[in-house]
Homo-oligomer: A and B are copies of this chain.
């Protein structure tokens, strides 16, 4: 097993010395390797959200590999159309409960290769399907038996792991991603937040130099949280809420820097603002599909209150519900679903990706959905 502290991403410039003085722990273990994220020419930073790719389903059939190839094409189409500065993989990159191999990182790597091959940096958060043991199809115990599986050959060190069926833990998935990819801005968060792992903050620097300095101030903060599921409860914990408090107080004490939030499973606040299930989406909500009920986290331990109290927080983005793609206002911020991007996972709605575009000066955050076929819809202004 990999040492968990190896290969952690140098994701955030946080002043370690200042943290030590403040008695705070940094949001991420970080190093010096990755260049800082910055707003692009024109003061724009564009993010593509790839949600619910669900790679690796039914690898022993024809349709499983075929749908993975289709997911490759969706991401390629969106990246070609939007040319984003950054990609957020919003959980459920793989369907680990359908993976009879010992290392789901093989499929995880395929998901992130869409960004890597174009040189686009990215970050990942975990969904409820990324860290799950294999669920044996009940029909494999029937007279039909087990289909021929394509398993890696057992090795001396793992003689019974040709098909191990045990799933790949979050910490291993993250270590494999971060260790092998210079463009990955993902990170294993502080150990005190385990079993949640994808808890970290990224900052995007201003295009302009700080007056009287060669430095660039941060102009956007992106918080990534692990909303659980799979190997543990679907929840943002009370400990994560405390962590968010201390991070946001440290990085953005006066709320000057706009903040965006990313996790996988909608909080119960989404249920409160949701359009009536399966009915038309009406203003102030904006979106194109409303085909199911919100499937929220198991509990709410204060994260939404923490966010609602900060005017600097502009929006929360989640995946999980493949049949929802709306944004609705909640107090002073927006709650948005991404758009089901992968051909894996339930639902036959056309695939696409939510795009977020943040402009530095004057500040604005807008969003829309780019479809696989090139069309664009559901434009919404989140802040201006």
Residues in chain A within 8 A of chain B (CB atoms): 1, 3-5, 133, 136, 138, 140-145, 157-161, 165-166, 169, 171, 195, 228, 231-233, 235-239, 298-299, 301
Q: When the two chains form their complex, are residues B145 and A238 in contact, meaning their CB atoms are under 8 A apart?
A: yes
Contact A158-B1, Cβ < 8 Å, known A166-B166, A239-B145: yes
Tell me the complex Cα distance, A231–B1, Å.
22
Q: When the two chains form their complex, are residues A235 and B141 in contact, meaning their CB atoms are under 8 A apart?
A: yes
A1-B161, A141-B228, A166-B166 are known contacts; what are 4 more A-B pairs with Cβ within 8 Å? A138-B235, A141-B237, A145-B238, A165-B231
A141, A158, A169, A235, most chain B CB atoms within 10 A = A141
Q: How many copies does the complex hold?
A: 2
Q: List B contacts of A158 (CB < 8 A).
A: 1
Contact A299-B138, Cβ < 8 Å, known A1-B159, A166-B166, A166-B169: yes
A191 nearest CB neighbor, chain B only: B160
Cβ contact of A159, chosen from B4, B231, B236, cutoff 8 A: B4
Q: When the two chains form their complex, are residues A299 and B142 in contact, meaning their CB atoms are under 8 A apart?
A: yes
Q: List B contacts of A136 (CB < 8 A).
A: 195, 231-233
Tell me the complex Cα distance, A35–B228, Å.
51
Tell me the complex Cα distance, A159–B236, Å.
25
Tell me the complex Cα distance, A237–B145, Å.
8
Shortest Cβ gap from A49 to chain B (Å): 25
Tell me the complex Cα distance, A169–B133, Å.
11
Shortest Cβ gap from A193 to chain B (Å): 11
Q: When the two chains form their complex, are residues B171 and A160 in contact, meaning their CB atoms are under 8 A apart?
A: yes
Q: List B contacts of A298 (CB < 8 A).
A: 138
Tell me the complex Cα distance, A141–B159, Å.
37
Shortest Cβ gap from A237 to chain B (Å): 4
Shortest Cβ gap from A133 to chain B (Å): 6
Tell me the complex Cα distance, A170–B301, Å.
36
Tell me the complex Cα distance, A145–B228, Å.
15
Shortest Cβ gap from A342 to chain B (Å): 26
Q: List B contacts of A238 (CB < 8 A).
A: 141-145
Tell me the complex Cα distance, A157–B228, Å.
27
Q: When the two chains form their complex, are residues B235 and A301 in contact, meaning their CB atoms are under 8 A apart?
A: no
